[in-house]
Amino acid sequence: MINYANGKNFQKTIKIPAKSSVKPKSFSHGNRGMAFESDINETNEYYKNRGLCLVTKRPTPINVVEVDYSRGAIIKNAYFEKQSTTDYNGVYNGRYLDFEAKSTRKKTSFPLANISRHQIEHLKNVIKHKGIAFFIIEFSTFDEVYYLNAQYVINYYEKGERKSIPYDAVKEHGKRIKKAYIPRLDYLAIIQELYGKS
């Protein structure tokens, strides 16, 4: 289960300033998707401050192998684990929300390769328990972001024939999320449209 990231674009050892907003997740993704992720986090912060909904990001799971207690508690050896659930969940008007955010540079389709079987099983469970499950998908080349029902993605994933969802299908079956200054990505507007305002 060791998540060896592809180190191609990195120096052998990277030092990150302690106060940097660069989060572990970013290592494996490079810069792609980082602005997107930060837009979602800022949107969640906005929703929280405005009292619209409460969504939190799950920390990246890390398997700790060795800790040095001589100077406090410094982790000296550890590795990233794959998220077995999704990155975000929360509550809107008492209802449970759960979603995964993914960015692609592709122009013709959204690849399903970086969605794990565990994540699909998790989202199926969320749906079974009547939670609101979805994906937020960015086509970075077009600067377009879509809300896509998790069930739609699950169906594609489980058909197994295709390893991606065509861009046109996302456009047709998803809902475009408006990009703005504040909030950056107003996905709650879509949830309110689909499930009612509180």
Binding interface with a copy of itself (CB under 8 A): 2-5, 7, 10-16, 18, 23-24, 27-28, 48, 51, 53-54, 56, 58-70, 72-80, 85, 89-98, 122, 125-126, 128-131
127 with 134: CB under 8 angstroms?
no
Min dist CB 85 to a copy of itself, Å, is: 5
Task: Name which of 5 and 112 has its Cβ closer to a copy of itself.
Answer: 5
d(CA 186, CA 39): 10
Min dist CB 107 to a copy of itself, Å, is: 29
Min dist CB 185 to a copy of itself, Å, is: 19
Q: How far lies 195's CA from each of 29, 103, 173, in Å?
A: 33, 25, 17
Task: Name which of 65 and 180 has its Cβ closer to a copy of itself.
Answer: 65
Q: Compute the C-alpha angle 168/28/139, nearest 5°.
A: 20
Min dist CB 161 to a copy of itself, Å, is: 29
Element (H, E) at 88: strand 88-92
